[in-house]
Amino acid sequence: MYEFRLYLYISGETTNSAAGAWSVKSLLNEAFRGRYSLEVINVLDHPQRAENDNILATPTLIKAAPPPERRVVGDLSDKEKVAAALGLTTDKEKQETPRHPESSQ
């Protein structure tokens, strides 16, 4: 079972859709090294599913698991903003946790 489960809703096979999918996949590959599943759903092919999931605009990225569910709608090109909006802590961030210097007295 994957630690993270995400869904990316796109509309058609456009350049913007491809760029958004590439950016999300790149973020997930760099940060979570195979501990995720990502399903890309074309709303033109699956309109009922988009309606059931309340997709109002594309692209929409949904982090379904672990809870809480979070969504990012629109520009997905800034990986750091996308990760922050989804509440994701990457492996890199865990390794770079700042140390607080001892206060001198």
Domains in the chain: boundaries: 4-88
Q: Say whether pTM exceeds 0.75.
A: yes
DSSP states of 10-70? E-SS-HHHHHHHHHHHHHHHHHHTT-EEEEEEETTT-HHHHHHTT--SSSEEEEEESSSPE
Query: 4-88 maps to which CATH number?
Result: 3.40.30.10
- Tens of pLDDT, residue by residue over 38-58, are 999 999 999 999 999 999 999
The pLDDT assigned to 104 comes to 46
Residue with token string 């709608």: 73
What are the tokens at 23?
């950016």
Give the Cα separation of 105 and 102 in Å (integer).
9
Q: Which residues lie across from 73 on neighbouring strands?
A: 60
- In this prediction, residue 60 carries a pLDDT of 96
pLDDT tens per residue across span 9-41: 999 988 888 888 899 999 999 888 889 999 999
pLDDT in tens, 73-83: 999 989 899 99
